[in-house]
């Protein structure tokens, strides 16, 4: 987050801002606050009739481009609740929960485990009964930093020891102090003592209990990401699906995080949907695959209509990387509320499989049989055991035939993508001197593909239009509307993002043609009624509008 676009959005006549978008989403049935009749619930949102189609189209496009159109990726659908050990192995139980302490005085908030104390107990050797004298030094940071902050005083203390006295030093953090000692702690910001609250755990994982009785023993978590289900099933998939490295396993599904502060419409919510791919490859090829997915995933957003310079690809600085990752890139979008992440592509090495191998005690390594069979004659070996024996004592004796695959993880948020596509599509322009609000979705993503209208409600036009509608409905999600003025009906569909309007008019009754109307240009052209299905299919697949120089909507080939 952060960046040049974070100032107040301009609210001029044609500007998109979140208020307008939220309002449109509500008005047209894209997105509603969850449980709204009870006042809503923070961090949860519902998708309405148009919103669910949009989001489904996004997920379907991702699924098709990532899995079914490829030879090297398979899908999976894991349970939301998994064995709690999964989250120990993944680091979510340790790293996902932060104890926080607030200063009552200056309202500062601190990671309680980063508030460090250094404690000295001064004891006289010959008087075991005398209580040792205790001196504390406090600060923010690790023990070394706090020692530096207090170097002078500590030095003074150490040099004041008399013969027959011992000085014992213990380091620790705020969470380990007893209640009395906590009152001695100074707030690192305002410097006042005893102003910090008890540390409170901010565990971002939702907890539940498997079974009717709630106790510690059956505590379970709602998954905070879908990825771990993939790693946990790595062996199952390898053993059953004839997949060979390099290959990927992909999943779309709900995840849950108890965000401290849900904000920005559906961008950060507590229940959200992820589209994640774990692509497993040989360590030697990981860098290449990382580069491939980094590029392919960025292109995917462009191919689906995010053409503006609001979309960017940002490589993480080395100091931003998680300790196990050798490279990570974020695909970001400049939302009205700031530049924020849509998707991260991470080179995770063998960290995840390694963790699960360790915590489960199961061998998760991959054996490259093809390569072994190819190479073994040259080495004069008949069995892999010989090879292992030869390399006994080596760090990776089975390498390069047996190894933990490295993984490239493109991890996308379906709700964030939906919001980005909405923001990108939202436009206000002028048609015949009137202001028009239009959602210029890529036809592949548009909730409704076409709307069918009789020009007026008489002379048999409604009947003819409905017949065409029925025929189209067998193939596409189309909409029929015969009420009111034709212009109003066009505009309504513009707000829903419907790319094409099909109108039955007076001429249709004599020559059996209909007009097609393009959402973005408002241009119209005639098509034989009997060919409407094929004509719409052609348009949705990117064939040009008759008379137009460029295709109605360009659909480039994805780079896979």
Residues at the interface with RNA (CB under 7 A): 1, 6, 18-19, 22-23, 26-27, 33, 39-43, 91-92, 95-96, 98, 102, 107, 109, 202, 204, 224-225, 257, 259-265, 268, 322, 337, 431-432, 434-437, 455-459, 483-488, 490-492, 495, 503, 505-506, 515, 517, 522-524
Q: How far apart are the first and last CA of the chain?
A: 30
Residue 197: CB minimum distance to RNA, A: 9
Instruction: Judge residue 82's burial from the number of C-beta atoms within 10 Å of its C-beta, 0-12 exposed, 13-18 middle, 19 or more buried.
Output: middle
Q: Is the dihedral of CA 522, 525, 529, 530 positive or negative?
A: negative
Give the C-alpha distances (Å, rounded to integers) separating 488 from 51, 200, 256, 453, 482: 22, 55, 41, 11, 11
| Cβ atoms 459, 506 nearer than 8 A | yes
In the bound state with RNA, the residue whose beta carbon lies nearer, of 418 and 503, is 503
Residue 98: CB minimum distance to RNA, A: 6
In the bound state with RNA, the residue whose beta carbon lies nearer, of 256 and 401, is 256
Say which DSSP state 22 is in. Answer: H
In the bound state with RNA, the residue whose beta carbon lies nearer, of 56 and 526, is 526
Distance, CA of 283 to chain centre:
25
Spatial CB neighbours of 377, under 8 Å, sequence gap ≥ 6:
none
In the bound state with RNA, the residue whose beta carbon lies nearer, of 38 and 395, is 38
Q: How far apart are CA 184 and CA 399, in angstroms?
A: 56
| Nearest alpha carbon to residue 451 among 518, 416, 502, 409 | 502
Residue 412: CB minimum distance to RNA, A: 13
Residue 96: CB minimum distance to RNA, A: 5
Spatial CB neighbours of 538, under 8 Å, sequence gap ≥ 6:
none
Neighbours of 40 (CB within 10 A): 13
Residue 529: CB minimum distance to RNA, A: 12
**The pair of three-digit structure tokens given for residue 171, joined into one six-digit string:** 């380091």
Residue 358: CB minimum distance to RNA, A: 17
Residue 505: CB minimum distance to RNA, A: 3
In the bound state with RNA, the residue whose beta carbon lies nearer, of 101 and 540, is 101
| Cβ atoms 78, 226 nearer than 8 A | yes
Residue 307: CB minimum distance to RNA, A: 23
- For the chain, the residue count is 560
Q: How far apart are CA 123 and CA 443, in angstroms?
A: 78
In the bound state with RNA, the residue whose beta carbon lies nearer, of 167 and 522, is 522
| Cβ atoms 244, 370 nearer than 8 A | yes
In the bound state with RNA, the residue whose beta carbon lies nearer, of 524 and 559, is 524
Residue 86: CB minimum distance to RNA, A: 13
Residue 392: CB minimum distance to RNA, A: 36
| Cβ atoms 241, 295 nearer than 8 A | no
Instruction: Return the bridge partners of 481, or none.
Output: none
- φ/ψ (deg, to 5) at 350: -105, 20
**The pair of three-digit structure tokens given for residue 541, joined into one six-digit string:** 């697949």
């Amino acid at each position: 987050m952060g960046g040049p676009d974070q100032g107040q959005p301009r609210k001029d006549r044609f500007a998109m801002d979140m208020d307008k978008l939220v309002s449109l989403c509500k008005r047209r049935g894209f997105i509603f606050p969850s449980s709204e009749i009870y006042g809503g619930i923070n961090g949860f949102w519902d998708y309405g009739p148009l919103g669910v189609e949009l989001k489904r189209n996004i997920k379907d496009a991702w699924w098709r481009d990532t899995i079914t159109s490829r030879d090297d990726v398979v899908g999976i659908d894991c349970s939301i609740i998994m064995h709690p050990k999964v989250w120990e192995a993944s680091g979510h139980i340790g790293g996902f929960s932060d104890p926080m302490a607030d200063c009552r005085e200056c309202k500062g908030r601190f990671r309680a485990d980063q508030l460090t104390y250094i404690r000295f107990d001064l004891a006289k050797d010959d008087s075991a009964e005398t209580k040792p004298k205790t001196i504390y030094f406090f600060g923010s940071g690790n023990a070394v930093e706090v020692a530096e902050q207090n170097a002078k005083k500590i030095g003074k203390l150490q040099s004041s020891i008399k013969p027959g006295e011992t000085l014992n030093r213990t380091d620790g953090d705020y969470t380990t102090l007893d209640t009395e000692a906590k009152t001695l702690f100074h707030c690192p910001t305002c410097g006042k003592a005893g102003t910090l609250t008890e540390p409170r755990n901010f565990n971002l994982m939702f907890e539940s209990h498997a079974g009717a009785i709630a106790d510690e023993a059956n505590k379970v978590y709602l998954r905070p990401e879908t990825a771990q289900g993939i790693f946990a099933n790595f062996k199952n998939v390898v053993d059953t699906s004839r997949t060979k490295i390099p290959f990927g396993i992909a999943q779309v599904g709900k995840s849950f995080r108890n965000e401290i502060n849900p904000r920005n419409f559906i961008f950060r919510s507590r229940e959200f949907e992820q589209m994640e791919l774990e692509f497993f490859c040989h360590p030697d090829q990981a860098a290449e695959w990382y580069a491939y997915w980094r590029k392919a995933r960025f292109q995917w957003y462009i191919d689906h209509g995010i053409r503006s310079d609001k979309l960017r690809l940002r490589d993480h600085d080395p100091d931003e990387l998680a300790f196990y990752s050798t490279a990570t890139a974020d695909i970001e979008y400049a939302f009205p509320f700031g530049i924020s992440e849509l998707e991260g592509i991470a080179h995770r090495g063998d960290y995840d499989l390694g963790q699960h191998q360790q915590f489960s005690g199961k061998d998760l390594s991959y054996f490259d049989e093809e390569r072994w069979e190819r190479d073994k004659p040259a080495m004069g070996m008949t069995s892999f055991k010989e090879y292992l024996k030869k390399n006994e004592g080596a760090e990776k004796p089975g390498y390069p035939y047996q190894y933990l695959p490295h993984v490239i993880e493109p991890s996308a948020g379906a709700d964030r993508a939906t919001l980005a596509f909405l923001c990108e599509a939202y436009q206000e322009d002028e048609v015949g001197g009137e202001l028009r609000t239009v959602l210029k979705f890529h036809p592949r993503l548009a909730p409704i593909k076409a709307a069918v209208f009789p020009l007026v409600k008489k002379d048999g036009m409604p009947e003819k239009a409905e017949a065409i509608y029925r025929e189209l409905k067998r193939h596409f999600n189309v909409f029929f509307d015969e009420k009111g003025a034709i212009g109003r009906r066009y505009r309504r569909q513009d707000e829903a993002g419907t790319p094409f309007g099909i109108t039955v008019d007076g001429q249709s009754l004599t020559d059996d043609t209909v007009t097609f109307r393009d959402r973005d240009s408002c241009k119209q052209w005639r098509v034989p009624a009997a060919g409407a299905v094929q004509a719409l299919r052609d348009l949705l697949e990117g064939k040009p509008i008759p008379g137009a120089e460029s295709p109605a909507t360009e659909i480039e080939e994805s780079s896979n």
